[in-house]
Structure 1
Amino acid sequence: MVYVQLNVVENLSEIVEYDTPYLPIRTRQSKLSYFNNRSASCHWHIDLEFILILDGAMNYFVNGENYLLQKGEGIFVNSNRLHYGYSYKDEDCSFLVMLLNPSLLVRNPYIESKYIKPFLQDSNSDAIVFHEGIPWQSEALRFIHALYETCHHQEDGYELVALSQFDLLFLHLYRNTVAQHGFHTEHSKDITAIKKMLAFIQIHYGENISLQDISTVGAVCRSKCCRLFKVSLKKTPIDYLTHFRIQKSIELMTNNSLNITDVSIACGFNSSTYFAEVFKKIMGVSPTEYRQILSK
């Protein structure tokens, strides 16, 4: 099986492909089983993200916190927050995902400074989990469902409807967060450290990287480095490095001018034999077999 891969660049930001070139909105229905190891890549983007669980359950990491999402629940992820979803008890999960660029909300500088910037920068609004049993959150779920359906079906005039629905959804979130509890800007040093270490790996994965190299970039000791990776990514730093190298090798194998040895060297493996061994352990097939699947 060829897995879904997010288009994440060196600084961990995702290059988002919107539904149309005219409106920065993306809607998708997906499953965790479409991703390798039933886990998306850790990433961030400027867009506001909304997830609705259709069936099953999913763990969701946002800026150092882990949330369990059950069927019928949802989550909002604020702009520029480090996040990813991964399986709960190795089970599959079906979900809707919607990304909306905050530029859709900007009408004039006054609106932006009074409402939009405070909410986007509020450290208490990194993520919001929506439960059916809480009235304002239940209403938020209905807003999200309606907006998703509008954007997904794209009936004539849907753009104007989507803009008005997004305005109402944003206002609903603002009234139940910043308007009630104030604006907070405390940001975790641990998140800053993990972002720096992940970015370092994504830039230097083809080189000989040690645990000491990774921890030095984050300005933490090796034990704290390991602890941050375990809490955030459920992997050791070296495990994350290995999985990232395999992800990059998959991208390179679409280039038929590169043989397996070339791919293994470019991705930081000392030998093609070891690369093949690790690849099969993670992907379930050998690099040669995977390349044959790609060619079909």
Structure 2
Amino acid sequence: MQIKNFKVDQSLKELTEHRTIVLPIACYETTINQNINGYIPLHWHDEIQFVFVVKGEAIFQINKDEIVVRRGDGLFINSGCLHMAKDKNQSGCVYICFNVSPHFVLSLELYTTYVSPYIRATNLPYLYINANELWGKNILEAILKIKQLIERKSQYFEIDITMQLALIWKNLIINGFQPEYVQTEMLKSQRMKQMLSWIHLHYAEKIMLDDIAKAGQLSRSESCRYFKKVLNTTPLNYVVDYRIQKSLILLQQAEMSITEVAYQVGFNSTSYFIEKFRASMKKTPLAYKKIKMDDN
């Protein structure tokens, strides 16, 4: 089994380039438990994303909401929305992931009327795609066709992809959803990303709640409310979780001791690192290290 490292920048923006040689799209299968973390970590991207679960079940967290997506159903995740995914009940979840630049969905002449209001909508972070609904069935079938077109690369397949993409978008917007835009919600999203970006820059250093709040131009209490609302955790608990996430790669390096890893990712106590690692990963850092050394 190939273990994949999901790469993001300091603002949690995914670094994967979502495009073919010609088109600003990407369509591929993802097996959740093959990620180095055992789940798809928190991230965001400019592209809109469609998910089609083909095996098992997944729990997607989008902002504060958790959505269980069953085999055969899917999910639309809007541009710029923080999200993560984990397997449900060790089901071996596999999903088709289709990412596309919003500006490629429809022609420039139609973008302003039929795409921009939905991309900018603050009341549309995601939409569950139910295969039992006609519009949902049409979207999921089109995703499969796009995946096949990319794999086969028959003549004029790029044109066929644009036709399927227009069909997807039409079915998304004809189900009656009314987009709304609230400036304060957009500001909250920006401040949340500012605080996360600061943590990712300074995670190896001593971090205080005041530092995180200052990065988001918020008070301590407001900072805590933002984290609770968006990620259902506290700022300092998020720091601990992120440090553990960063430790996973270091633990796979034979020459790194547990203590060295602990201090390099910002823990000032090896015992505290072990305690938090065990609580998160259900095993000690040493046990995790031995497993990875044996795999290699």
What TM-score results when the alignment is normalised by the length of structure 1? 0.80
8 Å contact kept, 1:62–1:82: yes
Q: Partner of 1:136 in structure 2?
A: 135
Q: CA deviation at 1:51?
A: 0.7
> What number of residue pairs does the alignment pair up?
291
- Give the Cα separation in 2 of the matches to 1:222 and 1:90: 37
The amino acid that maps onto 2:263 is I
Q: Partner of 1:161 in structure 2?
A: 160
Q: Partner of 1:289 in structure 2?
A: 290
Q: Partner of 2:267 in structure 1?
A: 269
Unpaired stretches in structure 2, ≥5 consecutive residues: none
SS in structure 2 opposite 1:95? strand
8 Å contact kept, 1:4–1:35: yes
Q: Partner of 1:16 in structure 2?
A: 16
Instruction: State the percentage of identical aligned residues.
Output: 26
SS in structure 1 opposite 2:239? helix
Unpaired stretches in structure 1, ≥5 consecutive residues: none
Judging changes above 3 Å, is the alpha-carbon distance between structure 1 residues 262 and 98 closer, same or farther for their aligned structure 2 residues?
same
- Give the Cα separation in 2 of the matches to 1:33 and 1:184: 36
Q: CA deviation at 1:247?
A: 2.5
The C-alpha deviation readout for 1:36-83, integer Å capped at 9, x for no partner, is 564321111011111112233222222343322222111111111111
1:95 paired with 2:95, answer: yes
- Give the Cα separation in 2 of the matches to 1:176 and 1:288: 49
Q: Partner of 1:49 in structure 2?
A: 49
SS in structure 1 opposite 2:55? strand
The amino acid that maps onto 1:131 is N
Q: Partner of 1:80 in structure 2?
A: 80
The C-alpha deviation readout for 1:145-174, integer Å capped at 9, x for no partner, is 222332244344322221221122223323
The C-alpha deviation readout for 1:215-234, integer Å capped at 9, x for no partner, is 44345555664554455435
1:185 paired with 2:174, answer: no
8 Å contact kept, 1:26–1:98: yes
Q: CA deviation at 1:91?
A: 4.9
- Give the Cα separation in 2 of the matches to 1:85 and 1:253: 23
Q: CA deviation at 1:139?
A: 2.1
What TM-score results when the alignment is normalised by the length of structure 2? 0.80
- Give the Cα separation in 2 of the matches to 1:247 and 1:162: 37
* Structure 1 vs Structure 2 CA RMSD: 3.3
Q: Partner of 1:198 in structure 2?
A: 196
8 Å contact kept, 2:123–2:180: yes
